[in-house]
Chains A and B, each alone.
Chain A
Amino acid sequence: MSTVKMTVNGKAVAVDVEDRTLLVQLLRDHLNLTGTHVGCDTSQCGACVVHMDGRAVKSCTMLAGQADGASITTIEGIAKGDELHPMQAAFRDNHGLQCGYCTPGMIMSAIDIVHRHGGQLDEATVRTELEGNICRCTGYHNIVKAVLDAAGRMKVSQAAE
């Protein structure tokens, strides 16, 4: 057992876990942050994507201990109170989700895509960048639309800040 200390969605936490605990298990089982999902065993589906120190990583492919000292943001931590993150709003407005299971990982990956590419996004780039996130419901069509839409909204909201 080890004590893992980190910041999760802005709050400092310290959790005693077995060393074999994955970051996603710490989030779901110990912190009850069940928005982060597990959809595969081989690090491919991306349902578990969270941000660690601002970068989108697969929380199923990290030991909790590797995140000790880091700042973690999950799907539960991106809205500002009742104000949705522009990516969340874009997924809703563009019908970028159906069953909702892949959605948290998609949104967390998509925010990172926009951060990295800024205004340089086009459909082909979004499709390539979504390689690590699998969705079975939407056929990706509306997810791609949502990410492109959000890229515009995020530019606007950054400019406003």
Chain B
Amino acid sequence: MGVEGIGASVVRKEDKRFITGKGRYVDDIKLLGMTHAHFIRSPHAHAKVKGIDSSAALKMPGVVAVLTGQQIVDDKVGNLICGWAITSKDGSPMKMGAWPAMAPETVRFVGQAVAVVIAETKNLARDAAEAVVVNYEELPAVADVHAAIKSGAPQLHPEAPGNQVYDWVIGDEGATDAAFSKAANVVKLDVTNNRLAPNAMEPRAAIADYDAAEEHFTLYTTSQNPHVARLVLSAFYNIAPEHKLRVIAPDVGGGFGSKIFIYPEEMVALWASKKVGRPVKWTGDRTEAFLTDAHGRDHVTHAEMAFDAQNKILGLKVKTYANFGAYMSLFSSSVPTYLYATLLSGQYNIPAIHAEVIGVYTNTTPVDAYRGAGRPEASYLIERLMETAARQLKVDPAQLRRSNFITQFPHQTPVIMAYDIGDFNASLDAAMKAIDYAGFPARKAKAKADGKLRGIGLSCYIEACGIAPSKAVGSLGAGVGLWESAEVRVNPVGTIEILTGSHSHGQGHETTFCQLVAERLGVPISQVSIVHGDTDKVQFGMGTYGSRSAAVGLTAILKAMEKMESKAKKIAAHALEASEADIVIENGEFKVTGTDKAIALPMVALAAYTAHNLPDGMEPGLKESAFYDPTNFTFPAGTYICELEVDSGTGKTSFVNFVAADDFGRLINPMIVEGQVHGGLVQGIGQALLEHAIYDASGQPVTASFMDYAMPRADDVPSFNLSHTTTLCPGNPLGIKGCGEAGAIGASAAVINAITDAIGTNNLEMPATPDRVWRTIHAA
């Protein structure tokens, strides 16, 4: 490894603009003649739109237009799609109602847009929006999954009777029943995985600019995947053909999944910019983010695990109700099925698994992928079950896990996934050592003597990342392939541009991707630029989510690099009158191995572009591209252990120590990897202790601002003690597994297992707020 190569904790190239206030986010952009949009949103969870009177608003100062849902339907803008088809156990396709970008007839959640005001300034648009009179006829609403599936419940979509989207199963039911019939012990658990609001700090925003002469649109948007946005806007929403639509995702202030999806506001901005003949800008505020950014999680699950007399797991049964909200968001259908139930084997040998997932409509904000997407729900369930089992079976929770670990790889689970490699004992050992697990009983006793309730909790998570082999996801219903593309351009002066379909919104690609180039060519990263986030610059890409950018995106860059290097070696060999096989690349030079003959990269590049003396038949230029389609998921795994104290007077939790031992395969930049883990851990801790997007029974959101929705602050969380145990992923040449979601996937169970250990009561739902913990302590 060079000082800037693979494995070096290089400080980030992109930081200078962010720390000097020169980042360029969508809301920072102004276009000439730009107008501003303000959406008129339903205050009701369920209502008929009987009429919209915009006559008074149109007379207000600065108003350019008021556009309604009926108009967008009349103009044949497509309904929002769900891109992953799921088939119910009876063989029927999932049942979905239509989701227009603005509701022409019926609103189904608070915050759904019915109209938009376009005006000269943001304030004037909002002023005028108050003068638009919408006549609603309220309908009964339902927010809770169990209420929604009861007979007589308010019905959201005629296409989905009983509010059921699908009833999907995975695994072998007969084999699982047989396993349970042999069980010495059965452990049962009911858990709720609380609904979360993603809350990237940058609210979503869009600027649409229509060029009438060219019939061409430009969209600046807060997206994790601008090419996917263009594809969907073009192929399904009828905005424009792809060559007439440029999508730019500039600096994006966090995503966590919530900026994967193509939202109504982008569609409306594009459509409106053509209607009014001027650029249209929309910047959401935090309340709009709470109301309209796709939420995460929201499962209600009953699970049972069967053990034999030696405490070996025999089987697992799971039944989960997944709350999808009022509409099926872009990838929502896959989250509680293929991203959740396929991970239910955890790190354990479980011979038989059967899971049933029932997807349910409610009058709430749509739910889709949020950091981890299905995998946190699986991991939380399994790790709560293991802890519950250890308590019920009266065995040490670490030992119970260890005795059931998968130790032989590859390992085919009963739920599709084939784990390629791992060493679960290594990460458990590392975490136990880091927290001095053996010394915990003495610490607990001392804390007790001091009047404190101390607990320790483990979580041994596994996740499937590197999403994903296109053929595999295609066979499971995905509407897209999940490969990645890259292009390497060596300029005539020898500087290098890497064009990637991955998108960085905090992950540090502008640094880590350069590190691969530095590693291979021995050039400083200052000579390398990363180009991303613009469909006019980058040919195609699937974007960044599911911890895929290093395992898939960087591998695509590697493939393109290999092609470029191969050509460059031919040019160098020709220039040096040597055999191509003897050329090695070192310190930015092409050398004839075993000699002092060498030619520097800039000279090779110049030769490629002057083309005065290339090998016969070689095309000029030094630019190569590649598409990389992974052969398998990757399987990051690890152990988190949390030690904490609970104040019995207030129910408040204070962290004593939090250790994480992760196996992410090869690390490109350990500093950045650890940053990803820190952030993920706090999102997992946030879910465990603080965060909950709540609706009342009538579908009114109770938590629509930071005044009510508790975001983790610096003083809510500890510093972390991280370590890495490494097994290289055999599925990609760099051996990378991915690190973006691990923290969020593994942390919640460690926290709840620790609190329940501290208070001596196993049943405790998330978020474990002081009130809830105090009531649990005093109910016991």
Contact = CB atoms under 8 A, between A and B. Distances in A.
A140 B19 CA distance: 16
A99 B200 contact: yes
Contacts of A139: 677-683, 712, 717, 720, 743
A63 interface: no
Contact of A40 (B680, B682, B705, B713): B705
The contact size tier of chain B is 35 or more
Interface string B499-532: 0000001111000000000000000000000000
A40 B704 CA distance: 11
Contacts of A133: 714
B285 interface: yes
Nearest to A89: B19
A45 B286 CA distance: 10
Interface stretch (B8-16, B156-164, B321-329, B587-595): B8-16
Contact of B20 (A42, A88, A127): A88
Contact of B506 (A79, A91, A92, A137): A137
B405 interface: no
B203 interface: yes
Contact of A75 (B21, B202, B682): B21
Interface residues of A, number: 56
Interface in B701-731: 705-707, 711-715, 717, 719-720
Contacts of B21: 33-36, 74-76, 104
A128 B717 CA distance: 11
* Most-contacted residue by chain B among A44, A98, A135 (CB, 10 A): A98
A30 to B, nearest CB: 11
Nearest to B678: A139
Contacts of B16: 92
A45 B707 CA distance: 11
Interface string B649-688: 0000000000000000000000110111111111100000
B123 interface: yes
A41 B286 CA distance: 6
A51 to B, nearest CB: 13
Given A103-B18, A104-B21, A134-B706, A98 B508 contact: yes
Contacts, number: 180
Interface in B236-282: 251-254, 256
A117 to B, nearest CB: 15
A161 B14 CA distance: 30
Interface in B1-60: 11-12, 14-25, 27-28, 30
A99 to B, nearest CB: 3
Contacts of A92: 11-12, 15-16, 19
A138 B251 CA distance: 17
A64 to B, nearest CB: 13
B670 to A, nearest CB: 10
B201 A98 contact: no
A53 interface: no
B632 interface: no
Interface in B282-322: 285-287
Nearest to B708: A42
B679 A127 contact: no
5 contacts: A98-B675, A134-B201, A136-B201, A139-B717, A141-B678
The 6 closest A-B pairs by CB, nearest first: A35-B21, A101-B253, A100-B18, A99-B506, A139-B678, A139-B682
